[in-house]
Chain A
Amino acid sequence: MGEGTNTFDISYVAHLARMHLTEAEKEKISAQLKDILAYVAKLNELDVSKVEPTAHATPLSNVLRKDEVRPSIDRDKVLKNAPEQSRDLFIVPKIVE
């Protein structure tokens, strides 16, 4: 974990998150995350080699329902909040050349 903090590359992580950051933001967040990562390193104090992870606290698993056709939200309503739409579709920049 300690090694991780040394190799923290904020530009790479920001790219993974698809989120542009200004140089000032990168500097500030890097410095703050260094502190936070140093703090969370305390988890290394514990031996968890025999502990199962908890993904969530509910007693349920594999919740299924019948595969039935049910009404859903009107298409017009779904599209209402889109920044750009046309002919019942969301419009996005060209993806495939």
Chain B
Amino acid sequence: MSLYTLTVHELRAKLRRGEVSAREATQALLDRIRTVDSKLKAYLWLNPEDALAQADAIDRSGIAKNGKLLGGVPIAIKDVINVDGQPCACASKILKGHTSVYDAFVVQRLRQAGAVLLGRTNMDEFAMGSSTENSSWGVTRNPWDLERIPGGSSGGSAAAVAADEAFAALGSDTGGSIRQPASLCGCVGLKPTYGRVSRYGLVAFASSLDQIGPFTKTVADTALMLRVLAGHDQNDSTSVPQSVPNYTAALGKGVKGLRIGLPKEYFIEGMDREVEAAVRAAIQKLQGLGADVVEISLPHTDYAVAVYYLIATAEASANLARFDGVRYGARVTGEDVIDMYGKTRGAGFGPEVKRRIILGTYALSAGYYDAYYLRAQKVRTLIRQDFEKAFEKCDVVVTPTSPEVAFRIGEKADDPLKMYLSDIFTISVNLAGICGVSLPCGFTASPRLPIGLQVLGKPFDEETVLRVAHAYEQATEWHKQRPSL
């Protein structure tokens, strides 16, 4: 078996026993990337010398052989999270050539855990998109079908893990940007509860919705990654000072007696039939494992996309004001400072980012604030309350992650609204601030494309979410399937 196919747990076992060095693990991935990434374009930036130097330092220190959770494990990072000394451009022309000058909190955590910071993965510009087609450096391909998108916005991270170009990767999820690409590429992706993982060093898109999370090949690896990433950080005022449980320890408890809620609003007309069949079969499987299924209702689901595209764009319009050609990135000179801002931003942002900045600016502008932004915040309360009521009746909610499998490159590129609606099952989770994971639960027949199951939990109850996901995964073989490249 090739080294690059291992899970994080398998690799850690070999590193700990001294059968493999951090350098060998890193080199195996670099070789794999050299072989397949010209087809996929999951990575935006790699520095083999730097990655191997990090690995050598870890080997010399003996970290790989001790109890550090990720000692010697190379990790890929979405191009929206700062790694000191590495480029960080959010796949945008406006930040071309930008080098990070500090580590994000999660990167400090990865370093402390002994990880090698391998490289930067592709994404939709500033994390705005569901297909990775909005990257200024071109689309990433889905490893299961190179003519199709990997999902987005964290498409590079999802494709890298699914194609064995990374053992694990970091992404960010504002409306589904971890779970949807995980679903479409056939790997595991977790959006932690808002406040569980510090956003310090994550380039902000929509600050009340953004959350960092991992992509992995198995649920156990996700639990391990969350142990490393979670925890309080005084540099993020929304980081919650709550103790971090040992997520690995809870995995084996099974689902017997757990109540699984099925929201009737998530099994809709127009949903891909094979997706629905796979998800229904997964629910039966969970029942067979001893879970009780209860029907629940999330009555405001139909409003989630509208709420999201007002709140997320409003916050984005404010957050992206900092890209003005003064402190970082490209500058286009103008007649005066206002003209310089306008020309810099006009030249630097791509079409989707411009569209969202315009929509968000409009939603916040005098005379429209109450009608759009404030109203959206109020409907957000109703969506949050839907989940609070639902969780009185059940321990987790199970849904499809996406109503469809990976679509063709270009299929939705000219219809933003159609693209937005592909996030219909993931968006409410960010609005409510709860946690959710996507994991593989089947394939369509022809072409053969992965289908994702979404498991949602109460705020700060990642333990139960991962426990249900692990029980399902261990009772099936989907997570062992790999694309042929």
Residues of A whose CB lies within 8 Å of any CB of B are 1, 4, 8, 10, 13-22, 25, 28-29, 32-33, 35-36, 39-40, 42-44, 46, 48, 51-60, 63, 65, 73-74, 77-78, 80-84, 90, 92-95
Contacts and interface: CB of A to CB of B under 8 A. Distances in A.
Contacts of B459: 57
B327 A17 contact: no
Nearest to B416: A32
A16 B378 CA distance: 25
Contacts of B377: 53-55
Contacts of B27: none
B346 A19 contact: yes
A59 B240 contact: yes
Contact of A19 (B336, B354, B432): B354
A43 B327 contact: no
Interface string B315-332: 001000100111111110
A95 B120 CA distance: 38
A82 B416 contact: no
B280 interface: no
Contact of A21 (B338, B340, B354): B354
A52 B378 contact: yes
Interface residues on B, range: 35 or more
Contact of B358 (A13, A22, A44, A92): A13
A21 B326 contact: no
B307 interface: yes
A22 B346 CA distance: 8
B297 interface: no
B238 to A, nearest CB: 5
A36 B381 CA distance: 22
B425 interface: no
B72 interface: no
A57 B174 CA distance: 13
Contacts of A81: 98-99, 101, 327-329
Interface of chain A, helix or strand or loop or mixed?
loop
A60 B358 contact: no
A10 B365 CA distance: 12
Given A20-B343, A20-B346, A83 B330 contact: yes
Interface of B: 98-99, 101-102, 194-195, 207-208, 234, 237-238, 240, 300, 302-303, 305-307, 309-310, 317, 321, 324-331, 333-334, 336-338, 340-343, 345-347, 349, 351, 354-355, 357-359, 361-362, 365, 367-368, 371-372, 374-382, 384, 416-417, 420, 431-434, 459
B238 A56 contact: yes
22 contacts: A13-B365, A19-B346, A20-B347, A21-B354, A25-B351, A28-B351, A32-B416, A33-B362, A36-B420, A42-B302, A43-B306, A48-B375, A53-B380, A55-B208, A55-B377, A58-B195, A59-B240, A82-B326, A84-B331, A92-B326, A93-B337, A94-B336
Interface of chain B, helix or strand or loop or mixed?
helix
Nearest to B360: A17
B378 A51 contact: yes
Contact of B432 (A20, A57, A73, A93): A57
A32 to B, nearest CB: 6
A58 B381 contact: no
A78 B98 CA distance: 11
Given A16-B365, A82-B328, 16 more contacts: A17-B317, A25-B351, A28-B351, A36-B359, A39-B305, A40-B376, A48-B375, A54-B431, A57-B432, A57-B434, A60-B238, A73-B101, A81-B327, A82-B327, A83-B329, A83-B330
B297 to A, nearest CB: 16
Contacts of A83: 325-326, 328-331
Contacts of B303: 42-43, 46
A46 B375 CA distance: 9
Contacts of B325: 83
Contact of B384 (A10, A32, A54): A54
Contacts of A29: 354-355, 358
A47 to B, nearest CB: 10
Contact of B309 (A8, A10, A28, A36): A36
Contacts of B347: 20
A53 B194 contact: no
B343 to A, nearest CB: 5
Contacts of A15: 342
Contacts of A46: 300, 303, 379, 382
A72 B107 CA distance: 17
Contacts of A57: 194-195, 208, 384, 431-434, 459
B379 A48 contact: yes
Nearest to A20: B346
A8 B363 CA distance: 11
A60 B195 contact: yes
